[in-house]
Amino acid sequence: MKDKKRRKKLEEIVGYHAEALRLAGGISANQRRFIEVAAKYGKELEPDGWLAGGGSQVRNPEEEN
């Protein structure tokens, strides 16, 4: 790819990225709080078991005796 084409392609990518950020808007207070809590507590508050999506739908093929 020629330098001129490559530069044009990169400029398009930067433009699309800027437009996506503009259209997405900022982070809401609720989203910011979610991120702060995740950073503070880490995996302590991560769900496990049924809340994490595990359960009777997930089966171990070795247990099929």
Q: What is the pTM of this model?
A: 0.40
Structural domains in the chain (count):
1
What DSSP assignment string belongs to 2-64? -HHHHHHHHHHHHHHHHHHHHHH----HHHHHHHHHHHHHGGGG---GGGGT-STTS--GGG-
| pLDDT per residue as tens digits for the range 46-64 | 777 776 766 555 556 666 5
| pLDDT per residue as tens digits for the range 13-24 | 999 988 988 888
Return the higher-pLDDT residue of 51 and 42: 42
Q: Which domain holds residue 37?
A: 3-51
Give a yes or no: residue 15 inside a domain: yes
Q: Rounded to 5 degrees, what angle do the CA atoms 51, 56, 61 make?
A: 125
Give a yes or no: residue 62 inside a domain: no
Give a yes or no: residue 58 inside a domain: no
Instruction: Kindly report the average pLDDT of the chain as a whole number.
Output: 79
Return the higher-pLDDT residue of 32 and 62: 32
User: Tokens for 45?
Assistant: 């508050």
